[in-house]
Amino acid sequence: MAEYRFDSSCLRDYAPSLRSGDRVLLSGTVYTARDAAHKRIVAMLESGEPLPFELDGAAVYYAGPTPAPPGLPIGSCGPTTSSRMDPYAPLLLDKGLVCMIGKGPRNAEVIDAVVRNNAVYLCAIGGAGALAAQCITSCEVVAFEELGCESVKRLTFKDFPLIVGIDSQGGSLFV
């Protein structure tokens, strides 16, 4: 198993080289989105509306951060269960999403879409949201503010620790 440190803007280049079990320290821009936001994003795609962020080459973290304490950019920011986004993930991957970050296994359709699109599924450690927040240097709501913690946010990661859960060859930690 290898260890990598790179910026999210390089995910398209790195994804084909990553293998399940590899460790990644990810920096750069990552967007949060959970169930409600995914449903809206898919509806926007289907109706031809502009999206709140560019999907091509993007990374989405399945998280609903808590409000920021005074002096910090974000509150606790741990991963949510990824399988809740499985109905939406294949379409988003086909539209250019290159990386999903969450916890837990994914269904066969998501794995097929990861392989088909040379993408990657990275896993964050559940139950460590306060520690994860220490690797986030900025947080800005970019869409669906009325959803509160489930709004889409643009985060800036700095050496956020992750493990490759499913790689672009279909290798998985979950089988």
| Domain coverage including residue 162 | 3-63+72-166
The pLDDT, as a whole number, for residue 1 is: 86
Mean pLDDT of 143-161: 97
Q: Total structural domains in the chain?
A: 1
* 115 inside domain: yes
Catalytic residue ranges: 38
- For residue 11, give the CATH number of its domain: 3.20.130.10
Per-residue pLDDT tens over the stretch 90-121 = 999 999 999 999 999 999 999 999 999 999 99
* 35 inside domain: yes
* 175 inside domain: no
Per-residue pLDDT tens over the stretch 22-51 = 999 999 999 999 999 999 999 999 999 999
Whole-number average pLDDT of the chain: 97
| Residue 12, token pair as written in the block | 């398209």
* 172 inside domain: no
Please report the sign of the dihedral spanned by the C-alpha atoms of residue 18, residue 16, residue 25, residue 101: negative
Q: With bands split at pLDDT 50, 70 and 90, how would you rate the model's confidence at 127?
A: confident
* 84 inside domain: yes
* 119 inside domain: yes
The pLDDT, as a whole number, for residue 139 is: 97
